[in-house]
Amino acid sequence: MSHAPAATAHLETSTGLDNRKLLMWLFLGSECLFFGSLISAYLLYRDRSTTGPYPDDLFDIPFTSVSAFQLLMSSVTMVLALAAIQRGNVRGMQIWLLATAILGLLFVSGQAYEFTQFYHEGLTLETNLFGTTFFVLTGFHGAHVTIGVLILMSLFTVSLQGRIQQKHSLNIELAGLYWHFVDIVWIVIFTLVYLVQPGNN
């Protein structure tokens, strides 16, 4: 199944492509470096802690799996919002945008709960190398999700004022690219940080 997207204004750029979209992809490419560095640091240092608590003592896989599922499904609602506005369905876009923001908020809430639990179990930024690298990595990811939720809520508010129509679909697409990127980063974190543990099995 395919559909014709909204007609887009053809800007005379040197590449013939919209510079905003090009810039977004360049930004996402640089974000790969950012998160790649943080994930590398975590994997290198998590087993070098001389004192506990350790990952095996803290991780609640069923809880984190639900969080991962929420973020994954938010990618589906986000792309449905884009599909809706590209067909001129503003109401549909609003509903899916709101659903995406709610799923994002649930994810961030779950992360705040997890951080609180870990803190009560004795893990802080300064406790050990695992704590430092874990909180920095997942904290920065949570900050990205929070910014994404703010962007989505801003777009939702603007759309309620009737200022987002089919011809503005690129705005939704750019927000979607950012949101999907945040999702794929969590796909990697969920696997490498939570599921792949040396102490497992």
Question: Which of 102, 27, 37, 36 has the alpha carbon at shortest distance from 71?
Answer: 102
- Residue 50 touching another protein (CB under 8 A): no
Q: How near is the Cβ of 85 to another protein at its closest, in Å?
A: 12
| Residue 38 backbone phi and psi in degrees, to 5 | -65, -40
What track of x and - describes contact with another protein for positions 57 through 96 (by CB under 8 A)? ----xx--x--xx--xx-xx-xxx--xx-x----------
Residue of the chain from 90, 136, 166, 180 that contacts another protein (CB under 8 A): 180
Question: Which of 148, 171, 159 has the alpha carbon at shortest distance from 21?
Answer: 171
- Residue 33 touching another protein (CB under 8 A): yes
CB atoms near residue 84 (< 10 Å)? 21
- Residue 17 touching another protein (CB under 8 A): yes
Q: For residue 200, what are the CA distances in angstroms to 94, 157, 196, 197?
A: 43, 46, 7, 5
| Cβ-proximal residues to 155 (8 Å cutoff; 6+ apart), any chain | 97, 164, 171, 172, 175
- Which spans of this chain sit near another protein (rule: CB under 8 A)? 1-5, 8, 10-17, 21-22, 25-26, 28-33, 35-37, 39-41, 43-45, 47-48, 61-62, 65, 68-69, 72-73, 75-76, 78-80, 83-84, 86, 176-177, 180-181, 183-184, 187-188, 190-192, 195-196, 198, 200-201
